[in-house]
Amino acid sequence: MIRFENVGLRYGLGPEILRDISFDLPSGSFQFLSGPSGAGKTTLLKLLFMSLKPTRGLINVFGKDRARVTRQELPLLRRRIGIVFQDFRLLDHMSTFDNVALPLRVRGREEASYRQDVAELLKWVGLGDRMHVLPPVLSGGEKQRVAIARALIEQPEILLADEPTGNVDPPLARRLLRLFIEMNRLGTAVVIATHDLNLMEQVDARRMILSDGRLDIYD
């Protein structure tokens, strides 16, 4: 589904942040992306999400060469990827419901056609009673779940989550992890960037460890 071959990335004229990164992300796979702070986890997620271009190497996303993807094709490819940002990136003037429904609205769907789906997903992530609340009054964990619901609403082929448990207590972290596992069972490939070892120990999944700009994979 997504393939990296000898990908390297440097900021400006500085040293390479990522060096010779090669891996495959198969459909329906589940993996943790880990490594010390500043190892380049977020940068690698940005490369996966096509919001950064590599300085060298080949990235193939859904059968397309990243270097040849046009500006018009980018949104269509991104719709197949769900992303959960570390800082949530919710729109504060929109309700929980509208934030989750945003990916559907931008595709031109009428509210009547998705109202039920969004409500069910919000109930599924435990936010059925927070549906019409604005993000500023939500807790960190609730915001995190809204961001996850927004990433999942379109049933993406792959879900990228950047430190999804970074702002929550261990019980909620376990709850969120179960949510990701459930999504994975339904067929979505999952990449969770985290440095939370406790979280990783709870699932027997592939581990991608970034260190000194290199990636080691433990299947």
Which residues lie near another protein (CB under 8 A)? 9-12, 14, 17, 43, 49, 51-55, 71-72, 74-76, 78-79, 83, 85, 89-91, 93-95, 97-98, 101-103, 105-108, 111, 129-134, 137-139, 141-142, 150, 154
**Cβ nearer to another protein, comparing 58 with 134:** 134
Residues whose CB is less than 8 angstroms from the CB of residue 24 and which lie 6 or more positions away in sequence, other chains included: 1, 2, 3, 4
Best CA proximity match to 125, nearest among 144, 138, 139, 140? 144
Report the C-alpha gap between 212 and 20 in whole angstroms.
11
**Cβ nearer to another protein, comparing 145 with 205:** 145
CB of 48 to another protein, least distance (A): 13
**Cβ nearer to another protein, comparing 15 with 63:** 15
Q: For residue 70, what is the DSSP state?
A: -
Q: For residue 36, what is the DSSP state?
A: S
CB of 115 to another protein, least distance (A): 10
CB of 215 to another protein, least distance (A): 17
Answer for the pair 189, 119: CB distance below 8 angstroms, yes or no. no
Task: Specify the amino acid at residue 190.
Answer: V
Q: Strand 16-25's sheet: what is its strand order?
A: 16-25, 2-10, 56-61, 64-65
CB of 161 to another protein, least distance (A): 13
- Rounded to a whole number of angstroms, the distance between the first and last alpha carbons of the chain is 17
Answer for the pair 125, 145: CB distance below 8 angstroms, yes or no. yes
**Cβ nearer to another protein, comparing 41 with 150:** 150
Phi-psi bin for 57: left (phi > 0), alpha (psi -120 to 50), beta? left
**Cβ nearer to another protein, comparing 12 with 63:** 12
**Cβ nearer to another protein, comparing 35 with 205:** 35
Report the C-alpha gap between 151 and 113 in whole angstroms.
18
CB of 18 to another protein, least distance (A): 9
CB of 128 to another protein, least distance (A): 11
